[in-house]
């Protein structure tokens, strides 16, 4: 059985994929992951997850090029400039 190991370097940081271990059951997986990815205090915590339990999602397609739900959909610079000029608040920078 294959177990994926995710490693957190310091408390508060994200868990990142580090590698995998082969182990017949959870207890062995815990011991192997501990030995491979934590024996020098290089990890604050590990997530050891049976590979079969991971849902793989990869189908990210944006056929319609929708940008109204992303920051790159909003270019305010020109509009703000015009608005300031109209309001008489434009300053030379």
Partner 1 sequence: MTAREQEFLEYVQSGGQVETHDWMPDEYRQRLIKFIEMHGNSELMGVLPEREWILRAPTLQRKLALTAKVQDEVGHAQLIYRVVEDLGKPREQCLADLVSGKSKFHNVFHYPTYTWGDVGVIAWLVDAAAIISQKALLKCSYAPYARIMKKICWEESFHILHGRDVILTLVNGTGTQRELVQEALDRWWTPLMHFHGNPIEATDDPMVVWRIKSQANEEARQQFLEGYVPQIWELGLTVPDPKLRRSDEGVWEYTEPDWDELRAVVTGHGPKTAERLDFRRLNLEETAWVRNAVLAEAA
How many beta carbons lie within 10 A of that of residue 86, not counting itself?
A: 9
Shortest Cβ distance from residue 38 to partner 1 (Å)? 11
Signed CA dihedral, 10, 16, 17, 18: sign only? negative
Give SS3 for 29.
Answer: helix
Shortest Cβ distance from residue 32 to partner 1 (Å)? 8
Q: Which stretch binds partner 1 (CB under 8 A): 17-25, 61-69, 72-80, 84-92?
A: 17-25
CA atoms in the 13 A half-sphere facing the CB of 85: 6
Angle (nearest 5°) at CA 58 between 14 and 32: 45
Shortest Cβ distance from residue 16 to partner 1 (Å)? 9
Site for partner 1 in 27-86 (CB under 8 A): 28, 35-37, 42, 56
Q: List interacting residues with partner 1 (CB under 8 A).
A: 1-2, 17-22, 24-25, 28, 35-37, 42, 56
């Amino acid at each position: 059985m294959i177990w994926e190991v995710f490693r957190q370097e310091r408390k508060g940081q994200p868990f990142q994929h580090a590698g995998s271990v082969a182990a017949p059951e959870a207890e062995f997986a815990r011991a192997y992951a501990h030995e491979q990815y934590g024996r020098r205090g290089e990890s604050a915590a590990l997530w050891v997850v049976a590979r079969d339990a991971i849902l793989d999602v990869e189908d990210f397609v944006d056929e319609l090029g929708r940008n109204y739900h992303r920051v790159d959909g909003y270019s305010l610079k020109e509009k703000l400039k015009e608005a300031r000029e109209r309001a008489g608040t434009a300053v030379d920078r």
